[in-house]
Structure formats: structure tokens, C-alpha cells
């Protein structure tokens, strides 16, 4: 639990200094999610409502990267 203070300090700093950046981060996450939905071989688990994008590959990731490469 000692490390929780460091994480909390980082969160407080971010809220104090970078809140305006969240709008940009949210729009970038939405662009990434939209592209992954339209690309073959990717599964989206949840819609991107924040700056978090949760996805997986249909095939093993190494095969997906080889095909894209």
C-alpha cells in the first residue's frame, strides 16, 4: 500500500495541471477505436467512452502484425 501514495500524487498532479488535455486524449482514443472497428482482425470489447481503448486480436497478435507488415 505504500506505492498507492505515489500513484495518488501522480493523479493529483495530472488533475491540477493537465485536465484540458483530457479532451484531446479522448478524441485520440475515439479515432483509434474507430479505426480498429473498421480494420479486419480486431475485436473491440467496449466502446471508447474515455481515453481507454480495450481491444484484442482475432488471431494471435504476431500473425496480425505479419499480415499488416
Average pLDDT, rounded, for the chain: 85
pLDDT attached to residue 1: 60
CA distance 36 to 31: 9
The pTM of the full predicted model, rounded to 2 decimals, is: 0.64
**Model confidence pLDDT, tens digit, residues 36-63:** 888 877 788 888 888 889 888 878 878 8
CA distance 1 to 27: 33
User: First vs last Cα of the chain: how many Å apart?
Assistant: 43
Single out the residue of 68, 63, 13 nearest to residue 35, CA to CA.
68
pLDDT attached to residue 31: 93
Dihedral over Cα of 66, 25, 1, 6: its sign: positive
CA distance 34 to 36: 6
Amino acid at each position: 500500500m505504500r506505492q498507492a501514495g505515489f500513484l495518488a500524487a501522480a493523479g493529483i498532479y495530472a488533475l491540477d495541471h493537465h485536465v484540458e488535455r483530457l479532451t484531446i486524449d479522448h478524441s485520440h482514443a475515439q479515432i483509434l477505436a474507430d479505426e480498429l472497428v473498421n480494420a479486419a482482425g480486431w475485436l473491440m470489447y467496449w466502446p471508447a467512452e474515455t481515453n481507454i481503448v480495450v481491444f484484442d486480436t482475432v488471431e494471435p497478435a504476431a500473425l496480425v502484425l505479419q499480415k499488416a507488415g
